[in-house]
Structures are given as structure tokens and as C-alpha cells.
A and B are shown apart, each in its own frame.
Chain A
Amino acid sequence: MSHMPEAVALTKRDFESDQEVRWCPGCGDYMILSMVQKTLATLGIRRENFAFISGIGCSSRFPYYLNTYGMHSIHGRAPAIASGLKLARPDLSVWVVTGDGDALAIGGNHFIHAMRRNVDLKIILLNNRIYGLTKGQYSPTSEQGKKTKSTPLGSIDRPFMPASVALGAGATFVARTVDNDLAHMGHVLERAAAHKGTAFVEVLQNCAVFNDGAYAAVTEKATRHDTRLMLEHGKPLLYGKERTKGLRLRGLELEPVTLGGEGITEADLVLHDERGPHATLAMLLAQLELPDFPIPFGVLRAIEAPTHDALNARLREEAHGVKGVGDLGALLNSGETWVIEEAI
């Protein structure tokens, strides 16, 4: 069901709850919370029609700080709870806020199935590549070799790339942004909100206490032009301070090139396409890593597909069409019945 823009004049302040925010000083979550509050006010949806569902972890405190309906649930299960809520109440705008451990470790199953079903949910994953609330263990997105309290000799696990997990599970909307670029984050959140279906947004988020500087290369002014690839649909994959670097296709791989060298022009670069029939390009982009490649930001993929909640509502209509509106008396009397007469 679509949200008709309503005549509601809301501001960021309308979405601030009376609860004191309890994240650590310097946590990236503050910026994300602020941007989400700001974005919600612009969507033309009445405040009571938002529901924010979270699991467990630092990120999952989010609903307490939003003056909407909200549920701080149990570890990893927010997508399942949100799916049930959206199926029961297609009129609501249902959001999930989760983290790298919550979504990809304990809640991995619910995460992939939310992507697969395409329930109309907005899922924001705050990826700080560490377990914060339990005080600093490696997470499913921590880099190999990472030394933490639970991996004093370095992590031997290979990390997930959240966007590629989502794409592999069939996500219809996948985007990436970063906590300190508010303008970009706002743009991505608006796109996610407008998407019909499961919209997955990965926000690279700095944990100032247990993983400070994890994203320094893409957030520092000195380096970020060379480390960020800002995606725009239909535009070439260009990056670098002077926009002289780009990505071209070599076989089935992306290859970094410099414009001008060896006669390479913009025409040689791959054009970004959010809407291809297959997720191939998005998957290539999702897996790019420093230092050989820039990190892509923006909408990796956005395709139209029927939402699970809309299909679910249609099933009811179809059932009515075939069987008519259910009649309880007829149901109880269905099948083979027999009558015992009053003895005379």
C-alpha cells in the first residue's frame, strides 16, 4: 500500500523523543539519528504511522530516541518482527535499525529472508565493524587479522560485505552511505523511503571507543576524493579529486584506470545502472575494497518488484473471488456431516 503524501507539517523536532540519548561521545550514531529524524519530517507521513523496530546492540537503541511507535526487541530478530507488523498493517511505514552483529551474525537468517521476500521495510544497518555493546569483539564485518578482546591473535574469519549479502539474497534496493556525510545520507534515506519493497541501507559508522578510525580513509578530507566512488544512475564510474580516475570493465572484473593515460576516455568507463535485470554490476561494486579500488557510495541497485505485503493482500482478494467471503457457520458445517435426530 502506498503512502499518499498528507498535509502534515512536521519538523525534525517532532521526531525527537524525551529520552536522553545514551551513546558514547563521538559515536557516529548521533549523526545518523539526526539525519533520520530530519528525513522522516519530509516524507509526508504522519508521525503515528511510523514504526521503528530494532534488535540488540548500540544501534538498536535507536527507537527510544525517535518519537514514533517503536520496539526495541531481541537480538537479530527485528526483520522478522517488522515483517509481521507490515503484513498485519500495510498502512504503516515500518523501519528496522540494526547493526553488523545484529543483522549479519545472530540475525543473518532473518536478514536474507527479508531481502528475498521484499516486504516493504526500510532496513538501516549501522556498520561499525565491531561489537560495541559487549565491549569490543570482532564482528562479521571485521577485517581478517583484526585484534580484539576475543581475537587477541587476530581474527581468522573472512568478513561479509553487507551489500553483497543483501544483493545475493535478492534485495530490490541496496545503498551505502557514511555517517559523516549528512547530505549524502539524507539523499540515500529519501531514496530508500521512496522505494516500494525492502530497502537496505548500509551506513558506515564510526565506533569512537572500540574501532575508532575504521573508515578514516573514506572520511578524511585528505584522502576521501580518491577513496570514494559516488554512484549516479546513468553516469560513468568516475572518482578522484580531479575526477580523472574511473572504472572500466575487463572481462567480468572492474579495473581502475586513469583518464588520459593510454588514450582512455570517459567513454571507456562503465555507466552505473541501478536497474539492470541482474545484480551483476551492483555485486561487482559491492565487493570493491581499498586500497586497490575506491568504495562505492550511493544506490547500488534499485529495481521494481511486487512487494510481499501487496502480494499477501492480493491473496485475500483472490480467495474472496474464488470462495466468497468466509462464513463461519458454513466452515464448521463443511465436509461430511450427519444428523442425529431427536429420539421420539
Chain B
Amino acid sequence: MNVQSGLASEVRQAPRRIEEIDAVVIRFAGDSGDGMQLTGTEFAHAVAVAGHDFSTHPDFPSEIRAPAGSLFGVSGYQIQYSSNPVRTSGDELDVLVAMNPAALKVNHADVKREGLLIVNTGAFTEANLAKAGYASDPLTDGTLDGRRFIGVDITQLTENALSDTGLSKKDSGRCKNYFALGLVLFLYGRPIDREIANVRKKFAKKPTLGEANVLALRAGHAYGEATEPFEVAYRVRARPATPGTYRSLTGNSALAFGFVAAAELSRVPLFLGSYPITPATDILHELSALRHFNVSTFQAEDEIAAICSCIGAAYGGSLALTTTSGPGMALKTEALGLAVMLELPLVIVNVQRGGPSTGLPTKIEQADLLQAVYGRNGECPIPVIAASTPADCFDCAMEAFRIAVEYMTPVILLSDGGIANASEPWRIPDIGSLPKLEVSYRTDPEGFQPYARNANLARPWVRPGTPGMEHRIGGLEKDFLSGAISHNPVNHQRMVEVRATKVEGIANGIPPLRVDGPTSGDLLIIGWGSTHGAIAQAREQATTLGKSVAHVHLRHLNPLPADLGDIIDRYKTILIPELNGGQLRKMLRERYLRDFALLSKVQGRPFKVSEIYDRIIELC
């Protein structure tokens, strides 16, 4: 292949030019076995340590090891980092690293004009081109016109670099992601010393492979430095951020940390009952590794047993947590109803994915909102909150338990595939600044009635083992005070109403909404969940053009914040962008009896900033 041979031999003569830029969007793409998620994560760490703000979007197939070279087996990891606040992983790519023809085919259209493609030409064999459905070679047939393209035979160069290690061709092939990482680290002016130390740590148990990866990394970096096509390196200016200690955090890790914090701060044991399901499983992994905290984890036989074990643990006095995704949520429905009847505190995390049914297990969607708010038999109100960013997951985990304990109720916490695996910098909070979580169990038998209520309409939490307060609870309708079975018609109505009033009352404890932008005007955007970044950035762009646009992002979805109605009244038009068919819009229409404009997207992908921006321009 002429491109590859032509480039690989040209050794740079001129001194390197460094261009300063504000932001860059890079996507690493290859086979699911190519280690692109690892490459992307490592690159994210490298820019994080340099003090940049960033946002990532891992996008991988649901097959564990899809056939090599296939289109459906392409795995991608996108990162945007910047000297300015970063809200999303970026609309268009400045750089695409494509490890094979399939990765090129799936991704190249996302590269902006004049953007850069770094392509592993070593994988552009006839067989691989055929697997990707290319009739002719896209590197030479004009497919890439308008973009800059650098061909590098990463496969061969990695093999060359590892020739002395005695590794087989197959094993050295596994190191080529580190070559690519080294190359991109060079291109963006990042040192590799830190990365070398990381590789050695990561592969401590497989030192041979570890050293091979170090060689590949060095080779990639040196290749960039030495060869002509990479005459320009880029530097993203450092970002002035709030002082503090930072770390990178995914949404799933942030949830796990938040739940541990809730347990530690309340001094009540955390019990997780869970069944593995994409994309929620990492929460189970994280918490299972934290048993030296006040944490117990139970991998149940199914989704139903997972929530039922939590009901048992909550009855016993634990902070009970179950984690799942849409299909698992469907299976938990009956037990949710029981938890509502028992009025026990319990947190259910639904890391939403594309649905219905098995749907798009690894892709992003927000289509379980109505299921969370309404999806049960009977009048069965459950508070619902949603996290908006990976870091927000930490706060939402604690907020979910606050509501659960203060109101003696199950609480549904919605996350989604967009923030579960995505990471962003997180300013590590001071433990003393975290909200307190007060838990008290009733132990005084004097005048005890299992369903007598406090000012929050919460019934007392009484743990088995408390003398003199033995009582029975269950899923049958209960007497308003004693909790004994009651089929009395008036009592049932009263109980239905008090359960609803209790959940509505949660709105009294919600702080006022934050409105970004003008307090009244032409357009208000209402969002929820992981669309936060794209909405915020689109709003900022529109504002610079003089548009009057405000943004309010809802954490509390049931009950809705008490001040939302007043805020809505202050704007001419309201836009609701959602990664579903319009579920929040349906809820708000019903609640506020006015119309709302909708921007709906259900493609298994997050919003692009431009999609929201364009809709803003249409509306005002």
C-alpha cells in the first residue's frame, strides 16, 4: 500500500511547530478486542492530570468479542478536553484514530472538515476491507476527501518494536493500542513517563506483557516525534479550575462512592442486592470490592430476588440498595409495590439503556421515566430522582437515601448509559461538607402503632429484635394506624391518599431550582438526566448570539419541584430535549396544562450540542 510505505520512511527534518488550541475531540476506534476502551481511559487520565476539563463517551458493542474486523464489533471511546468547561464529549471529531477498515467506516463521517484521521494501514488488508464492506480502498478512493489523513502501519511498527521480546505475533498484536496511545500522547504534547509507570502497575502480574506495552508506547511516541507527517503538535491551554484535589470518576463509580458515603455518614450498614445487568453491573463490582466498609453485597439469583433481599435487609434496618437496568426494573415491579405498602426505605438504581425489551444494552436512552414514575399496579407513588453528570451521581446517591429514610419509602434513582461509563473530573469533597444522614429506629413500645406517622407522614422504622414491638406487615391493605389487615373501603381510600400525599410532600424539602440564564424571556429549556451537558453548551452558544434562553435541569422528577410551575410561567416557549419519545413532556403537560416543544432523539446516542442549538434557533 503506497500511502503507508510513503509515510513511514519520511523522517522529520524541520523543528516541531506547536499550535495552541482551546479544545480537542478525539475518538479511538477499533475492534472490540483492540483495547480501545483502555486506550481512551488512559488518555483521559493523562489530560486530567494536566488539569484539563474533559468529558468522555465510551461506545461499545454488546458482543463481548465480536468477530474481528466486523462493523458491529467496532468499539469507540471519545473524549473532549479543553481549557474551558467541557459539557459533552463533543459533536464532531478533531481526530479519529481508526485501527481497521471497519472502525474507519463506522466513524469517519463524524470527523469534521479538515479534521485528522490516523489510520492503522497495517489492518487495511483485502480481507478486512471486504469484512467492512468496502469495494475499493477508502484511503485512496476519495472517501476521505476534505480531511487530513495520516497512514501509519501500527501493526507492523508495533511488531518491529517488540521483535526482541520473543512475543508471538498474536501477542504483540495486542500491544498496538499502546502504540496508538503513545502516538496521540505525543501529538497532544503529553509526557509518557506517567503512562509508563501506569502500564507497569497495571500489568504487575504479567511483567512480560507490561514491558511489551511499554515498548509499544515508547515506539508510538518516538514515531510521532521522528516522522514528517506529525510536524505539528498541539497544546491545549491549561484550564483555570476551582482549586482543590481532583480525580476522574465515572457515573457508576460515583454512585458506589455516594452509597458508601451514605452508609458511613449514617453509621448504618449498606446492603446491596443485585443481579448483573449492563450497564449497571459496575456498581455491583465497585461495592463488592468495598466490604471493608460498612457494606455487604449479595449477587442474587435474579432481579426479583435482588430487590426482595433488599426488602428483607431494609426490614432488618440496613440501608438497602438494588441496582439494575430497564429489563431488570420490569422484573422488580411487583416488589416495588410491596416496598410501597411496607413503607420501608430502599433505593433502586436504574441505569437506563436503550429499550424496550433487551433493546440496546450498551447504548444510551432515557426512556424509563414513565416506568419509574407510573409503572406499577394500583396507586403506587414512588419518588424518582435522576443524575445529570457522572459527578452528580455521587450527590444523587446520598439524596436518594435521604429521601428514603426521611419519608420511609422506596426511591428510584435514574442514571443512564451515557453517564454510567463516562468520566469527568471530580473535585473531591471534604467529608465534613457532605450532608448528614440521620437514621433512627423506634425502640419505645409505649403507644406504638406500626403505621402512625410523623410530620413527613413517615411511619416509624422498627427493627425485628426490638422487644415489646412485635408486629406484622405485608402487602395486603392495612389499617391506617395499627397496620393490621383491613378491607375497609374508607380505610383503603385514606391509605391510598396518605401514600400519595407523603410522596408529594417530599417537594417541601427540595431546594429552589437553579435557572441558568435569564429569569424570564423567550425560551426555557427543561432537561433531566445526562442531557445536561449538551443543553448547557447549546444554551451558552445561543446566548453568545444574543438569544434569550434559560435552562433548568431537574433532579427531582417525582415529585416535581414546587417552584417549577412559576418558572415555566415566565417564558414564552418551553423546550424539552429528551432521549425518548417525549416522556417528561407528557408529565409536564399533564401537570401544568400547557404545551411544550419537544426535541426527541432515540438513536442510542447522546444529543449533539448542535442538535439542541439548531432547535433553539428554530424556536427563538
Residues of chain A at the chain B interface (Cβ within 8 Å): 17, 19, 46-51, 53, 56, 63-64, 66-74, 77, 80-89, 91-92, 109-110, 113, 312, 315-316, 319-320, 322-326, 328-329, 331-343
Q: Is the CB of A72 within 8 A of B318?
A: no
- Encoded as 1 (CB less than 8 Å from any A CB) or 0, chain B from 285 to 304 comes to 00000111111101011101
B52 to chain A, nearest CB (A): 10
Chain B residue contacts of A320, Cβ below 8 A = 292
Q: Which residues of A contact B305 (CB under 8 A)?
A: 77, 80, 83, 109-110, 113
A48-B470, A71-B474, A316-B291 given; 12 more Cβ-contact pairs under 8 Å: A48-B466, A51-B464, A71-B472, A74-B335, A74-B338, A74-B475, A109-B301, A316-B296, A326-B264, A326-B292, A326-B295, A338-B49
Q: Flag if A337 contacts B245 (CB, 8 Å).
A: yes
Q: Which residues of B contact A80 (CB under 8 A)?
A: 300-301, 304-305, 308-309, 312
Partner among A53, A334, A339, A343 whose Cβ is within 8 Å of the Cβ of B312: A53
Is there an interface contact between A73 and B475, defined as CB atoms closer than 8 Å? Answer: yes
Is B97 among interface residues, defined by CB-CB distance under 8 A?
no
| Nearest-neighbor residue (CB-CB) of B464 within chain A | A69
Rounded to whole angstroms, the CA-CA distance of A238 and B246 in the bound complex is 75
Bound together, the chains give a CA A72 to CA B241 distance in angstroms of 54
Contact among B257, B302, B308, B465 with A49 in the assembled complex (CB-CB below 8 Å):
B465
B507 at interface, CB cutoff 8 A: no
Q: Considering the chains assembled together, what is the distance between the CA atoms of A324 and B298 in angstroms? A: 21
Interface residues of B in 558-607 (CB under 8 A from A): none
A82 to B315, CA, bound (A): 10
Q: Can you offer 18 A-B residue contacts whose CB atoms are under 8 A?
A: A47-B470, A48-B466, A53-B312, A67-B470, A68-B470, A70-B471, A72-B472, A84-B313, A92-B316, A92-B464, A110-B305, A312-B298, A319-B291, A320-B292, A331-B290, A336-B247, A337-B245, A340-B246
Which residues on the B side are within 8 Å of A316 (C-beta)?
291-292, 296
Partner of B316, one of A56, A70, A89, A324: A89
A83-B312, A87-B296, A88-B269 given as contacts; is B470 within 8 A of A340 (CB)?
no
Chain B, Cβ-Cβ closest to A14: B470
| Binary A-proximity of B472-505 (CB < 8 A = 1, otherwise 0) | 1111100000001100000000000000000000
List which B205-248 residues lie within 8 A (CB) of chain A: 240-248
Residues of A within 8 A of B315 (CB): 51, 71, 81, 85
**Does B251 sit at the interface, judged by CB under 8 A?**
no
**Which residues of chain A are near B428, meaning CB under 8 Å?**
332-333, 337
Shortest distance in angstroms between B40's beta carbon and chain A's nearest beta carbon? 15
Closest residue of chain A to B312 (Cβ to Cβ) is A84
Give bound CA distance, A52 to B97, whole Å.
60
Q: Inside 8 A of B470's CB, which chain A residues have their CB?
A: 47-48, 67-70
| Alpha-carbon distance between A53 and B302 when the two chains are bound, in angstroms | 19
How far is the CB of A252 from the nearest CB of chain B, in Å?
31
Query: Is B116 an interface position by the 8 A CB rule?
Result: no
Residues on A with beta carbons closer than 8 Å to the beta carbon of B265? 328
Determine the chain B residues whose CB is within 8 A of the CB of A110 once the complex forms.
Answer: 301, 304-305, 308
Residue picked from B294, B465, B467, most chain A C-beta under 10 Å: B465
Determine if B179 is an interface residue (Cβ-Cβ < 8 Å). Answer: no
Decide yes or no whether B364 CB sits under 8 A from chain A.
no
Does B317 sit within 8 A of A, measured CB to CB?
yes
Distance to closest chain A CB from B83 (angstroms): 13
Residue B457 lies at the interface, judged by CB distance under 8 Å to chain A? no
Complex interface: chain B residues within 8 A of A331 (CB) = 257, 260, 290, 293
In the docked arrangement, what's the CA distance between A83 and B298, Å?
10
Interface size class of B (residues with CB under 8 A): 35 or more
**A77 partner residues in chain B, CB cutoff 8 A:** 304-305, 308, 335
Measured CB to CB, the closest approach of chain B to A17, in angstroms, equals 7
The contact of A89 among B48, B246, B464, by CB within 8 Å, is: B464
| Smallest Cβ-Cβ distance to B50: which chain A residue | A338
Q: Kindly report which residue of chain A lies nearest to residue B469, judged by CB atoms.
A: A48
The distance from the CB of A24 to the nearest CB of chain B, in whole angstroms, is 17
A340 touches B241 (CB 8 A): yes
Tell me whether A329 and B296 are in contact in the complex, defined as CB-CB below 8 angstroms, given that A48-B467, A67-B470 are known contacts: no
In Å, the complex CA distance between A322 and B304 comes to: 33
B331 CB to nearest A CB, Å:
11
A274: shortest Cβ distance to chain B, in Å?
27
- The answer, among A53, A66, A84, A341, for a CB contact under 8 Å with B243, is A341
Do B292 and A84 touch across chains, with their CB atoms under 8 A apart?
Answer: no
Which of B242, B309, B334, B466 sits near A87, CB closer than 8 Å? B309
Cβ–Cβ contact B320 & A84, under 8 A: yes
Interface residues of B (CB under 8 A from A): 45, 48-49, 51, 240-248, 257, 260-261, 264-265, 269, 271, 273, 290-296, 298, 300-302, 304-305, 308-313, 315-318, 320, 334-335, 337-338, 342, 428-429, 431, 463-476, 484-485
Whether A85 contacts B292 by the Cβ 8 Å rule is no
Given A109-B301, A319-B291, A340-B243 in contact, is the A84-B309 Cβ separation under 8 Å?
Answer: yes
CA separation between A333 and B291, bound complex, in Å?
Answer: 17
- A-chain residues with CB within 8 Å of residue B300 when the two chains form the complex: 80, 113
- Chain B residues within 8 Å of A51, by CB: 315, 464
Contact (Cβ within 8 A) B476 A338: no
Contact among A47, A312, A325, A337 with B296 in the assembled complex (CB-CB below 8 Å): A312
Residue of A nearest to B48 (CB): A338
Q: Is the Cβ of A49 less than 8 Å from the Cβ of B334?
A: no
**CA separation between A85 and B428, bound complex, in Å?**
34
Give the distance to chain A from B21, nearest Cβ to Cβ, in Å: 20
- Contact B246 A81, beta carbon cutoff 8 Å: no
The answer to whether A113 and B301 have CB atoms under 8 Å apart is yes
B320–A326 contact, CB under 8 A? no
- Closest residue of chain A to B291, judged by CB? A319
CB-nearest residue of chain B relative to A343?
B240
Interchain CA distance A338-B290 in the complex, whole Å: 23
Q: Report the bound CA distance from A328 to B264 in whole Å.
A: 7
Distance between Cα atoms of A110 and B245 in the complex (Å): 46
| In-complex Cβ contact of A81 among B240, B260, B311, B466 (8 A) | B311
Task: List B contacts of A47 (CB < 8 A).
Answer: 470
Q: Which residues from A are CB-within-8-Å of B243?
A: 339-343
Q: In the assembled complex, how far is the CB of residue B34 from the closest CB belonging to chain A, in whole angstroms?
A: 24
Across the interface, name the chain A residue whose C-beta is closest to B484.
A19
A84 close to B310 (CB less than 8 A): yes
Known: A48-B467, A63-B472, A109-B301. A87 touches B313 (CB 8 A): yes
Given known pairs A83-B298, A85-B312, A85-B315, the reply for A63 and B474 (CB within 8 Å) is: yes
Is B311 a contact of A49 with CB atoms below 8 Å?
A: no
Query: Could you tell me if B273 and A84 are in contact, using CB atoms closer than 8 angstroms?
Result: yes
Do A326 and B293 touch (CB < 8 A)? yes
A63 to B257, CA, bound (A): 38
Question: Which A residues are in CB contact (< 8 Å) with B45?
Answer: 336
Q: How far is the CA of A324 from the CA of B320 in the complex (A)?
A: 24
* Residue from A56, A89, A110 having most chain B Cβ neighbours under 10 A: A89
Contact call A88/B296, Cβ cutoff below 8 A: yes
Most B-side CB within 10 Å, residue of A50, A88, A109, A329: A88
Closest to B240 in A: A343
Given A63-B472, A81-B308, A325-B292, A71 contacting B245 (CB threshold 8 A): no
Return B432 CB to nearest CB of chain A, in Å. 10
Within the complex, the shortest CB–CB distance from B436 to chain A, in Å, comes to: 13
3 residue pairs, one from A and one from B, having the closest CB atoms: A84-B312, A72-B474, A84-B309
Which residue of chain A has its CB nearest to the CB of B476? A72
| Chain A residues within 8 Å of B269, by CB | 88
